A and B are shown apart, each in its own frame.
Chain A
Amino acid sequence: EAGVTQSPTHLIKTRGQQATLRCSPISGHTSVYWYQQALGLGLQFLLWYDEGEERNRGNFPPRFSGRQFPNYSSELNVNALELEDSALYLCASSLLNAGWAFFGQGTRLTVV
């Protein structure tokens, strides 16, 4: 059974540009979560989607946004990129209200 898959693996963008990260959850999972792992800041919750709806968002500015598609895959968009957005972005999936999740390999975003 395939796990959570993320693309691309690495992404290099210039400050001010937009980045789009993609995630495919484990088959049967309806919830998708996005976490940011920045150097020195640890893992921080970004967004939670379930059944196409945003369920919760962490303490991040509105330029971090996303969506979930009917097939439960998800996209994270980061607009007006700043240098401090450089981080590993992890996607996770679970059944609704499972309380925990399976994580993907992550997308390493570098803003130069």
Chain B
Amino acid sequence: AQSVTQLDSHVSVSEGTPVLLRCNYSSSYSPSLFWYVQHPNKGLQLLLKYTSAATLVKGINGFEAEFKKSETSFHLTKPSAHMSDAAEYFCVVSDRGGGADGLTFGKGTHLIIQP
């Protein structure tokens, strides 16, 4: 069975400071991991994905995440926050091939950017 835990329900940072959104996963197999972002009243946008290639994954809008198998973590980072980064972020795990019906979503982290 697979599961994902987003360690913070809310994260607040000042504009221009680093962002860290934490995600731990549990998987019986070699997982694929994703981060999606959801802006208010919008759908989900894929930020980045890890599918067993390089462990440091670069995504859109300056975000990146590092897959650490020993720590079962896939934390999302950004060097400098921008006001437009304010949104809900979802860490997602899939430990089987096939369709996207096997995605398990975390409960989300609400990122607040202070001016």
Instruction: Give chain A's interface residues, CB within 8 Å of chain B.
Output: 4, 6, 31, 33, 42-43, 45, 48, 50, 55-56, 58, 90, 92, 94, 96-106, 108
15 contacts between A and B (CB under 8 A): A6-B43, A42-B105, A42-B106, A50-B99, A56-B101, A58-B101, A92-B44, A94-B99, A96-B99, A97-B99, A98-B100, A99-B98, A99-B99, A100-B92, A103-B36
The number of A-B residue pairs with CB atoms under 8 Å apart is: 66
B: interface residue count bin: 20 to 34
**Interface membership of chain B positions 33-52, coded 1 if the CB is closer than 8 angstroms to chain A and 0 otherwise:** 01010000111111001010
Residues of A within 8 A of B106 (CB): 42
Residues of B within 8 A of A50 (CB): 99
Question: With the chains together, A53 CA to B42 CA distance in Å?
Answer: 28
Question: With the chains together, A56 CA to B101 CA distance in Å?
Answer: 7
Would B98 and A42 count as touching, CB distance under 8 A?
A: no
Which 10 A-B pairs have CB atoms at the shortest separation, nearest pair first? A103-B44, A101-B100, A105-B43, A43-B105, A48-B101, A56-B101, A103-B43, A106-B43, A104-B43, A97-B98
- B41-73 residues at the A interface, CB under 8 angstroms: 41-46, 49, 51
With A43-B105, A100-B94 known as contacts, the answer to whether A90 contacts B46 (CB < 8 A) is no
Question: With the chains together, A99 CA to B43 CA distance in Å?
Answer: 19
**Interface membership of chain B positions 73-101, coded 1 if the CB is closer than 8 angstroms to chain A and 0 otherwise:** 00000000000000000101010011111
Would B101 and A45 count as touching, CB distance under 8 A?
A: yes
With A90-B43, A90-B44 known as contacts, the answer to whether A48 contacts B105 (CB < 8 A) is no
Residues of B within 8 A of A108 (CB): 41
Which of A43, A96, A98 makes the CB contact (< 8 A) with B90? A43
Cβ-closest chain A residue relative to B95: A99
Question: With the chains together, A28 CA to B44 CA distance in Å?
Answer: 20
Q: Does B22 contact A (CB under 8 A)?
A: no
Residues of B within 8 A of A99 (CB): 32, 51, 94, 97-100, 102
